[in-house]
Amino acid sequence: MTDLSAFSLSGKKIIVTGANTGIGQGIALSVAKAGATVIGVGRSSMDETAASVAAVGGSFIPIACDLGDHKAAAAMLDAAWSEHGPVDGLVNNAGIIRRADAVDFTEEDWDDVMDINLKSLFFLTQALARKAIAAGREGRVVNIASMLSFQGGIRVASYTASKHGVLGVTRLLACEWAAKGINVNAIAPGYIVTNNTEALRNDPDRSTAILGRIPAGRWGEASDIGDAAVFLLAPASKYMHGAVVPVDGGWLAR
Ligand code: NDP
């Protein structure tokens, strides 16, 4: 018989960045339903997420932090560890996108995206690993990548570069830390219903083209990503290191 406790997060504390909205909110809810205390990190109000977690009987601790300030973010993680006890996992979800033709792409739009999507992901993960290794504890890291970790896309130069980078960092950290008991993996979401994709969904031509290419025939929900994150945070995935799991309705398989 399968031991279902291997899929539970009961008793664990999990940080989710960008937990106020979209995929991060979905991850927070799934992780809470699996039994963990969620520490939501973000710069906007997380009241809505706190309410949805409370509605399923879960625990949610909001921490205000602009992840663009890397030193402040690392200090935030240290403070959370001291105040709330050891952190078992980190989901690096926060991300931004800027759109422009490559010939017009500005240095600012390049730097802003790389700074949040890649640099802040690396240094926050480093902060967690330093604490875990010093305390002799295991840890889990789940990085939110993208289909544009594998494909080029159009008019999103810095986003594509950053999300390819997320895969590289995931694999490097997985190799460096596997023997230390820290699992680092990634999820590559497909087209998910969030504010980020609202314009696409409202454009009838593009929406039809996208849906026609998704084998599952529907847009993804934030909970689809949340449920995959639960697995990568749970004991059941203990032998997974450096994996990249597409959760895309079959988009990449096509
Ligand atoms: P949203 O734009 O809805 O949410 C992005 C989150 O990141 C928000 O919580 C936002 O906070 C947070 N964030 C951005 N910058 C900062 C910062 N400086 N400090 C703290 N938090 C910050 O995006 P999605 O939910 O759609 O996407 C979430 C992740 O999933 C991203 O990494 C994205 O690249 C990835 N993804 C999304 C796909 C989709 O179809 N939606 C597809 C593939 C990947 P705030 O609200 O305060 O700005």
Which member of 60, 81, 159, 251 is catalytic?
Answer: 159
Name the percent of the chain lying above pLDDT 70: 100
| Mean pLDDT of the 27-33 span | 98
Residue range of the domain that includes 56? 4-247
Residue 196, in any domain of the structure: yes
Could you tell me the pLDDT band of residue 155, with boundaries at 50, 70 and 90? very high
At 1 the pLDDT is 73
10 Å Cβ neighbour count for 239?
8
Q: Which atom of ligand 1 is nearest to the CA of 195?
A: 3
At 109 the pLDDT is 98
pLDDT at 207 over 90: yes
Residue 9's φ and ψ, nearest 5 degrees, are -110, 20
| Mean pLDDT of the 98-115 span | 98
At 88 the pLDDT is 98
| Mean pLDDT of the 77-103 span | 98
Residue 254, in any domain of the structure: no
From ligand 1's centre to the CA of 17, what distance in Å?
A: 9
At a CB cut-off of 8 Å and minimum separation 6, what does 4 contact? none
CA separation, residue 200 to residues 18, 66, 207 (Å) = 21, 27, 6
At 219 the pLDDT is 97
| Mean pLDDT of the 82-86 span | 97
At 2 the pLDDT is 76
From ligand 1's centre to the CA of 18, what distance in Å?
A: 6
Please indicate whether residue 191 is annotated as part of the active site: no
Residue 253, in any domain of the structure: no
Q: Does the beta carbon of 149 lie inside 6 Å of ligand 1?
A: no
Q: Does the beta carbon of 146 lie inside 6 Å of ligand 1?
A: yes
Q: Does the beta carbon of 23 lie inside 6 Å of ligand 1?
A: yes
From ligand 1's centre to the CA of 22, what distance in Å?
A: 7
| Mean pLDDT of the 5-15 span | 97
| Sign of the dihedral through C-alpha 243, 43, 148, 208 | positive
Domain of 150, CATH number, reads 3.40.50.720
Residue 13's φ and ψ, nearest 5 degrees, are -115, 125
Provide the ipTM. 0.99
Cα 124 to Cα 108: distance, rounded to the nearest angstrom: 22
At 119 the pLDDT is 98
Could you tell me the pLDDT band of residue 148, with boundaries at 50, 70 and 90? very high
Residue 39, in any domain of the structure: yes
Looking at the DSSP bridge assignments, the partners of residue 144 are 187
At 3 the pLDDT is 84
- DSSP assignment of 214-252 equals -TT-S-B-HHHHHHHHHHHHSGGGTT--S-EEEESTTTT
Number of domain units in the chain: 1
